[in-house]
Structure 1
Amino acid sequence: MVDTPAPGTVRPGGRTARVRETVLRTAGDLLAQGGFEALDLAEIARRAGVGKTTVYRRWGTPGTLAADLLDDMATQSVPRADTGSIEEDLRANAHLVVKTLTEPRQGRLFKALIAASLCDEQAAEALHRFYATRIEEWAGCVTDAVQRGELPDGTDAQRVIAAVSAPLYYTLLNTGDPLTEADADRAAKAALAAARAGTWSTAAPRGRPTPNCDN
């Protein structure tokens, strides 16, 4: 028995790839304009100039389409910085997040995709994959810093990177305050200070004797 791939997961080249690119771009525009509730497959097919049958056969539901859009965004995201300094790398990460979230289309798109993840399981799983992919991409900055002696041994690289973007997404979604470059600098500085203090280190602190349980 041959397994049938889930809708939106097959990515061949040629015309099919062009159709996918057009549909995803159109879906992103609709999400940015009207949120998840505006993600109507028939309307997307009309705007993209693609047959409705093609869109319904390949994606099937708005949630599947939103998930495919997130997966595509993850593969096309900007590579991590490699400045040779953990301070500068974390600043670059924070500024990239702010730049993305304050860009008119991208900021609205991320809000819509986050909203979609709250009511659609496929979108939620894709959002988790998106953040995991981006955090893993930038985690190399932290592991390199540990090797250079800038951060404690055993520092959890993923947690450090997550700590950079967490306050920025909080501002975007909860306070409504405009994000600025100063916010990016503060987020990077706070995450770096915590990492240097060993907040996310699993290694035993240097200079302290290991307890002897036999005594």
Structure 2
Amino acid sequence: MSPDAPLGRGPKVRTAVLAAAVAELAELGYAGFVVDNVARRAGVHKTTVYRRWPDRDALIADALADSAAAEIPLPDTGSVEADLRALARGLVAWVKSPGGQAVLAVLVSETAGSASPPTVVRHVFRDRIRQALPIVSRAIERGELPADADPVEVIKALVAPIYFRALITRERLTDATADSAARLALAGAHAGVFG
């Protein structure tokens, strides 16, 4: 499609704008995020963007949530070990994707003292944790984890080493990173650490 060809209305516009927002965040961070630039990247007029998203934080929140939902699968294999490993591998893949890089850019700008979104990124993380809780709840129902295992704490234990490596130590993330995080969370849950 040529840059001058109109996208029209509906899902194509939404998809194009959200992808452009992710690209803008990944490239420029939160402080450099400009809705006009997002509209230009998406090939739409800025009024098209403002009609759907009242402000930049609403657009950012929607773009990041959409990226996380599309790229981090919520597995249901029937095995908590396989589910946690798949979730961790999906998270590692997402962190390395444009959407994940956008989230990291926002987090880095926030910790560097730049203008920071009060809840945009935290909302994305809380929502994804909430959506992953059934993985642990199903494992408890199947008798794979102790009945008192706290699903929130198990999922946080899974994601923490991945984000630590991505944000603090800046280590290369691999499937082995994901598998190690899954084993740690599972071992902690079996040991009653999250009860």
TM-score scaled by length of structure 1: 0.75
SS at match of 2:31: helix
Distance (Å, rounded) in 2 between the aligned partners of 1:164 and 1:33 = 28
Matched, 1:170 2:164: yes
- Which segments of 5 or more consecutive residues in structure 1 lack a partner in the other structure? 1-13, 202-215
Cross-structure match for 1:132:
126
Cross-structure match for 2:5:
none
1:71 touches 1:126 (CA, 8 Å); kept in 2?
no
2:136 touches 2:151 (CA, 8 Å); kept in 1?
yes
Shift of 1:81: 1.5
Matched, 1:191 2:151: no
**Shift in alpha-carbon separation, 1:106–1:58, aligned structure 2, 3 A:** closer
Larger Rg: 1
SS at match of 1:36: coil
Instruction: State which of 67, 81, 84 in structure 1 corresponds to 2:75.
Output: 81
Partner amino acid, structure 2, of 1:25: A
Shift of 1:107: 3.7
Cross-structure match for 2:3:
none
TM alignment of 1:35-184, pairs within 5 A: 35-56=29-50, 58-103=52-97, 105-115=98-108, 119-121=115-117, 124-184=118-178
**What's the Cα RMSD here?**
2.4
- Which segments of 5 or more consecutive residues in structure 2 lack a partner in the other structure? 1-7
1:103-137 deviations in Å (ceiling 9; x for gaps): 3x23422212334666344xx42323322222222
Shift of 1:66: 1.1
Distance (Å, rounded) in 1 between the aligned partners of 2:68 and 2:165 = 22
Percent sequence identity over aligned pairs: 41
1:168 touches 1:184 (CA, 8 Å); kept in 2?
yes
Distance (Å, rounded) in 2 between the aligned partners of 1:81 and 1:172 = 23
Partner amino acid, structure 2, of 1:127: V
1:63 touches 1:120 (CA, 8 Å); kept in 2?
no
Shift of 1:56: 4.1
**Shift in alpha-carbon separation, 1:69–1:116, aligned structure 2, 3 A:** farther
Q: Which moved more, 1:39-48 or 1:51-60?
A: 51-60
**Shift in alpha-carbon separation, 1:83–1:17, aligned structure 2, 3 A:** closer
**Shift in alpha-carbon separation, 1:32–1:164, aligned structure 2, 3 A:** same
Matched, 1:28 2:27: no
Aligned residues: 185
1:63 touches 1:116 (CA, 8 Å); kept in 2?
no
